[in-house]
Structure 1
Amino acid sequence: MVHRITLFHSIDPRGGKVGGIETHVRLMLSRHPDSVSMLLVGIDERGDLEIGKPVEIEYDGRSIDFLPVVHIPGDSLHAAARKITQSVTLRFTLGIMRHLLTIRRLAAGDTASTEIERFEQAIPARLIGHPVVQLVHNEGTRGDKMDSLLGRHWWLHRLSEKIALALASRVVGVNPSIIARYEREMPRIARKSEFMTVSVDTERFPAAPFPTTDVFRVVFAGRLDAFKDPPLMFETLRRLHARLGGKLEFHYVGTSDPHRDKEFAAIEPFTVRHGFQTGEGVSAIMRDCHAGILTSYFEGMPCYLLEALSSGRPVGAIRLPQYDPLIEAGVSGFLVERPEDREAAAEAMADGFARLAADIAAGRLDPGAIRAKVTPYSVAVQLPKLFERHIALGRVRSPARQPGAASPANSRSH
């Protein structure tokens, strides 16, 4: 018996969109068990596919079915929408609705379920007719720094959340604070919710000895969205560069333009921009650096953090509660409480990194001990649990209630 999972996300598996959610989606596509077949409903980033027509593609050695429902060029994916009509999420959701009958046909299997990463896709996901697993990746609150339209239309986000949580068969929050809020504010939702972080591919991100260069290298991988607080990150690095007598490099992996924050000008001379990288590329860059940095106002559970620790690299971060089990002083990095004064925050972060550089140079940090922090979050430990949740939900559905038999091309084991 083959279980069919339909996954909605505004991604082209052949494209270059990066981020924690994208990493999770790619792991679902590449690490599904033989008893599961995957249908990705996504976007055509290149403009070379017929919209609404399914294609079978190979992704990371695995065969998946891919249905593009809208064409959105890759360069449009990296800029925050300023108007509703520019919203990638809205355009993608409308594309799903236009091709809902095709999705219903392709989504059928011996048993089946649907997974969504965004609240906005909850209604079309439910209309497919299968149980829905809703992943909740962020816990931002009204007033938090945001690039997207959510910052100006927070009420719409909260409305979408309430609808999505009500329609979901299972809710998975990627950090404990998300589940704690549901227990506090929505006890009925909490009863069908669980905590499970995104997973880290520890095989792709192996630990390695620290590079022997006397130039301290700090790496960040991901988008430079406003909630990541790039100005604080850049100011920290400027101060650290002075503290270390110029022996500092900042390695940025991602497609955002750092020039939109004026603070970047001061660190540009010692910044190496790597652009988009595959997982293997990110892994190689991390192993060639000494430490990672996080300055976000809020997060779910950053894949970048897990990948850095898996690579044996400590991380200095503005503290968020979900970091506490992972970042331990003297073992895997340091945490700084966010003060109200930005100057104080940058100074405290620079002090922490200066101590970290000294500890690494003196051999006081062990990459193996750092990597051990993420063992419970590895793909091998966590993804089987998530796939089992999908399969268990599918079993409670009678075959007679499936919305149509799958065609042979879409019911095989991949």
Structure 2
Amino acid sequence: MYKPILTIFYQFNPWYSTIGGIQTLVSLFIKYAPSEFDLRLVGTGHDRCQPNLKWQKAEFAGREINFLPLFTLENDNIRSLIPTTVKYTNVLLGRCFASDFMHFHRLEPTLATLNWQGEKTLFIHNDIHQQMQPNGDKKAILWRRFPAAYFALESLLIRQFNQILSCNSDSAKFYSQRYPTLSNRISYIKNSFDSEIFYPLSHQEREAKRRELAVRLGLVPETCFILFAGRLHPQKDPLLLVRAFAALNESNTHLLIAGDGELATKIRAEIGRLGLTERVTMLGAVNQTEVSQLHQICNVFVLTSIYEGLPLVVLEALASGTPVVTTRTGETPKLLTDDSGVVCSQRTPESIANSIRQVLLHPEDYPSVSCVQTARPYAACNVIRDIYSEMLNRWELRTFSAVSS
């Protein structure tokens, strides 16, 4: 029996994945895809074992997929002079990989898809209105320098999509107001986490493993760990986090930074300037299993972003029983409850330090069970299953209508 084909377009390689929530979400769509679908991924290659521009059968997370790398990309954690999205779009132009369903996670590559037939879905991963604000670091995203050009391109391309799904409710509202004739295609969608990987330990296990980590790092067993995990990118503003940790100035606390990116050198310099060399550990890029283990034993996860959608890493921390401290950005402030985290009143080192201190001094106010309960509705096994179920229903209706006519 013929199966509907879903083709996912994104500039990554699931077997050699770089840091990012989009990469994680695409991987979840592969892992939790029902058997009723055939999956294709148009991504990037890593080495000669995966020849470019050739379809190849492969297995990922126990699921068989057809994979086509457009070009070789060894490390996308650090941006090159030519943005990866531009390279990806350039290779896609003039080709056609249309299928029953097509998922896009960047707007620019859809320059190549205007005439492709099939159901197209665009995923919006950030609060676009905030992302395109002219204030702040224009290096955070190239389009910030040319917002009028971005929105002109967007207005040209966006009408081709059957669905526009945003993980940020403000962004969904922004799009509905900007394109009122498309409002019935625009909706909010929950981001999701993998509950098979991110889950809490018992209190006893958590404390034992936290002490083990402290001893391994040469710290006192009572050390409290503050965690950041993600790309070291201007959007995430990890320099603000380091300054907030300096302002915290609490004994027996240690900051763990898991991730890599273009700001790594500046962060190391700032750590040295503030005299924090012995109190901050930069772990570099770590795999998903290592990240889950860090979430399970740290005392608090901190996010200091300038703009966001709904970061998967926040869901992963909460699902692991760890409270979250965040700046007032993205969907996270709407998600957190009074007993699962704190939203900072201001984007200043002092405000963030005060919020971290609040969690560290009163852990009983942020119990693991409350954090897990906050994350539970976003579990991928449910969220993604429901999305696929709706897709299959639409495909069956289209197929029935075609046969009937």
TM-score, normalised via structure 1 length: 0.85
Question: Which protein, 1 or 2, shows the higher relative CO under an 8 Å CA cutoff with sep ≥ 6?
Answer: 1
Among residues 298, 320, 323, which one is paired with 1:311 in the alignment?
A: 320
The within-5 A match list for 1:76-87 is 77-82=76-81, 86-87=82-83
Matched, 1:218 2:226: yes
Aligned-pair CA distance for 1:126: 4.2
What SS does the corresponding residue of 1:301 show, helix, strand or coil?
Answer: coil
CA RMSD of aligned residues (A): 2.2
Runs of 4+ in 1 over 3 A off after TM superposition: 125-128, 392-401
Q: Which runs of 5+ in 1 are unaligned?
A: 340-344, 402-414
**Alpha-carbon separation, structure 1, partners of 2:115 and 2:30:** 23
Number of residue equivalences: 378
Aligned-pair CA distance for 1:275: 2.6
Q: Which runs of 5+ in 2 are unaligned?
A: 212-221
Aligned-pair CA distance for 1:399: 9.2
**Alpha-carbon separation, structure 1, partners of 2:239 and 2:330:** 22
Among residues 132, 138, 143, which one is paired with 1:141 in the alignment?
A: 132
Q: Which moved more, 1:54-63 or 1:138-147?
A: 138-147
1:211–1:290: 8 Å Cα contact kept in structure 2? Answer: no
Q: Which residue of 2 aligns with 1:281?
A: 290
Q: Which residue of 1 aligns with 2:178?
A: 185
Matched, 1:93 2:94: no
Q: Which residue of 1 aligns with 2:308?
A: 299
**Alpha-carbon separation, structure 2, partners of 1:230 and 1:321:** 16
Aligned partner letter, 2:280? T
Aligned partner letter, 1:194? S
Aligned-pair identity (%): 20
**Alpha-carbon separation, structure 2, partners of 1:278 and 1:59:** 15
User: Per the alignment, do residues 39 and 151 of structure 1 end up closer, same or farther by CA in structure 2, a change over 3 Å counting?
Assistant: same
Q: Which residue of 1 aligns with 2:260?
A: 255
1:115–1:132: 8 Å Cα contact kept in structure 2? Answer: yes
The within-5 A match list for 1:243-392 is 244-245=250-251, 247-256=252-261, 257-261=263-267, 262-265=269-272, 266=274, 267-320=276-329, 322-329=331-338, 331-338=339-346, 345-360=348-363, 363-392=364-393
What SS does the corresponding residue of 1:189 show, helix, strand or coil?
Answer: helix
Among residues 96, 108, 133, which one is paired with 1:120 in the alignment?
A: 108
**Alpha-carbon separation, structure 2, partners of 1:170 and 1:60:** 27
Aligned partner letter, 2:92? I
Q: Which residue of 2 aligns with 1:239?
A: 247
User: Per the alignment, do residues 127 and 397 of structure 1 end up closer, same or farther by CA in structure 2, a change over 3 Å counting?
Assistant: farther
Q: Which moved more, 1:199-208 or 1:181-190?
A: 181-190
What SS does the corresponding residue of 2:321 show, helix, strand or coil?
Answer: coil
1:12-45 per-residue CA deviation (whole Å, 9 max, x = no partner) reads: 1111311111110110111101111210000012
2:17–2:23: 8 Å Cα contact kept in structure 1? Answer: no
What SS does the corresponding residue of 2:113 show, helix, strand or coil?
Answer: helix
User: Per the alignment, do residues 129 and 55 of structure 1 end up closer, same or farther by CA in structure 2, a change over 3 Å counting?
Assistant: same
**Alpha-carbon separation, structure 1, partners of 2:366 and 2:375:** 16
User: Per the alignment, do residues 275 and 60 of structure 1 end up closer, same or farther by CA in structure 2, a change over 3 Å counting?
Assistant: farther
**Alpha-carbon separation, structure 1, partners of 2:169 and 2:385:** 20
**Alpha-carbon separation, structure 2, partners of 1:264 and 1:399:** 62
**Alpha-carbon separation, structure 1, partners of 2:144 and 2:4:** 38
**Alpha-carbon separation, structure 2, partners of 1:287 and 1:332:** 15
Matched, 1:156 2:149: yes
